[in-house]
Amino acid sequence: MPEQLQFQFPSLDFPGRTTLTVAEIAAKLGWGEKHVADLIAEGRLVAIDGRGAGAKRSSYRIPAESYRDFILRCLTSPADRLRLLSDLPVATRRELIRELQASLSRPSVMPATCRNMSAVSIVAETPQARSVGNLF
């Protein structure tokens, strides 16, 4: 099995898991199980329906990758991001704040080949920049 990539928000993750239940996701996000099931029915959260023949209700299993993708998609849209964050329990939001602050305090690593070059000198080396430079 391939190694699981580290999720951007450990407080929202399920390390080492391959599938999740509706109840687990609802508990992690502080939502009701019906809300999670509605997201599946709307196609916003991909799941496997393990309902047996003659079963009256669904038995969803959500691949961990599908859950992570859903979380990241919600965070890329301002409206979804706000809705997701406002629905989270206060303790989870505080944990996210700590994680974001920690990630912002880490210096970004720039490849050695770029360390001594400014953004201007990098742009100036492109053929397009040379032709634009002739206009000035």
pLDDT for position 19: 95
**Domain residue spans in the chain?**
1-93
- The mean per-residue pLDDT over the stretch 96-117 comes to 66
Q: Please give the order of strands across the beta sheet that includes 60-63.
A: 19-20, 60-63, 48-49
Q: What is the mean pLDDT of the chain?
A: 74
63-to-32, 49, 94, 131 alpha-carbon distances in Å: 19, 11, 26, 50
How many Cα atoms are found within 13 Å in the side-chain-facing hemisphere of 49?
A: 12
Both tokens of residue 85? 């964050």
pTM of the model: 0.53
Per residue in 72-84, pLDDT (tens digit) is 887 777 776 777 6
Q: Say if residue 55's pLDDT is above 60.
A: yes
17-to-45, 46, 63 alpha-carbon distances in Å: 17, 16, 9
- The mean per-residue pLDDT over the stretch 101-109 comes to 76
CA angle in degrees (0–180, nearest 5) for 66-17-57:
65
Per residue in 81-100, pLDDT (tens digit) is 777 677 778 888 888 888 88
